[in-house]
């Protein structure tokens, strides 16, 4: 047996053969219900999970907490929709709407009974931005701001409106509003 340069028994090192590419035989499935999932940054994420549970019947799927007790990652389900959230975290770009002075994003949540869900959201602490009413695009909808600064467009489909009719209704609505 050959000895190494240090006088120990050993064998000569061989170069490893290059790795063969592995054929991709299966794609990972896209989660059912959503291809784009909102990730909300919240100051007080644990309180937000309670709010979403009370207002929207959210179910908590998973929660990971940091050593300081803040939520580092949480997934909730509202109906079929997944929503991710975490506490505000300085230094990693995780800034909440309260730190930014508001949210530029509106989450559209389609529900079976918008009037009931909007009332529950307000009873749980949400602020009404636009009251629930029938809309030209075929939904009964209203907008609320949750106690953490996130905006929600709550809606229930009430009719199917083809795009040409939707445009006609939209023009008519804006004409009516400009006369006021």
The string of pLDDT tens digits covering residues 85-120 is 999 998 888 999 999 999 999 999 999 999 999 999
Res 132: pLDDT: 99
Nearest residue to 125 (alpha-carbon basis) of 28, 53, 180? 53
pLDDT at 10: 52
Nearest to 83 by CA among 114, 120, 51: 51
User: What Rg do the C-alpha atoms of the chain give, in angstroms?
Assistant: 26
Per-residue pLDDT of 22-35, as tens digits, reads 555 556 666 665 57
The domain locations on the chain are 39-173
Q: What is the pLDDT of residue 35?
A: 74
SS3 call for 118: helix
DSSP H stretches of helix in the chain:
45-56, 97-100, 114-123, 163-178
- Predicted confidence at residue 85, as pLDDT, reads 98
Topology of domain 39-173 in CATH is 2,3-Dihydroxybiphenyl 1,2-Dioxygenase; domain 1 (3.10.180)
- What pLDDT shows up at residue 16? 53
pLDDT for residue 9: 52
Task: Report the pLDDT value the prediction gives residue 174, as an integer from 0 to 100.
Answer: 80
Cα 164 → chain centroid: 31
CB 14 within 8 A of CB 4: no
Beta-carbon contacts of residue 63 (< 8 Å; ≥ 6 apart): 49, 71, 73, 74
* Residue 176 confidence (pLDDT): 75
Quote the pLDDT of residue 133. Answer: 98
Which residues of the chain carry a pLDDT beneath 50? 11
């Amino acid at each position: 047996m050959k000895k190494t340069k240090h006088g120990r028994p050993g064998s000569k090192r061989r170069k490893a053969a290059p790795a063969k590419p592995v054929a991709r035989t299966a794609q990972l499935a896209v989660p059912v219900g959503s291809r784009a999932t909102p990730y909300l940054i919240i100051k007080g994420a644990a309180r937000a999970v309670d709010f979403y549970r009370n207002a929207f019947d959210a179910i908590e799927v998973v929660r990971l907490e940091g050593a300081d007790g803040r939520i580092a990652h949480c997934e909730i389900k509202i109906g079929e929709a997944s929503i991710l959230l975490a506490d505000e975290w300085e230094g990693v770009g995780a800034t909440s709407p309260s730190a930014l002075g508001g949210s530029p994003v509106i989450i559209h949540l389609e529900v079976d009974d918008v009037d009931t869900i909007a009332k529950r959201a307000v009873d749980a602490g949400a602020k009404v931005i636009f009251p629930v009413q029938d809309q030209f695009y075929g939904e009964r909808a209203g907008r609320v701001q949750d106690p953490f600064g996130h905006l929600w467009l709550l809606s229930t489909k009430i009719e199917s409106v083809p795009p040409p009719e939707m445009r006609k209704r939209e023009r008519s609505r804006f004409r009516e509003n400009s006369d006021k």
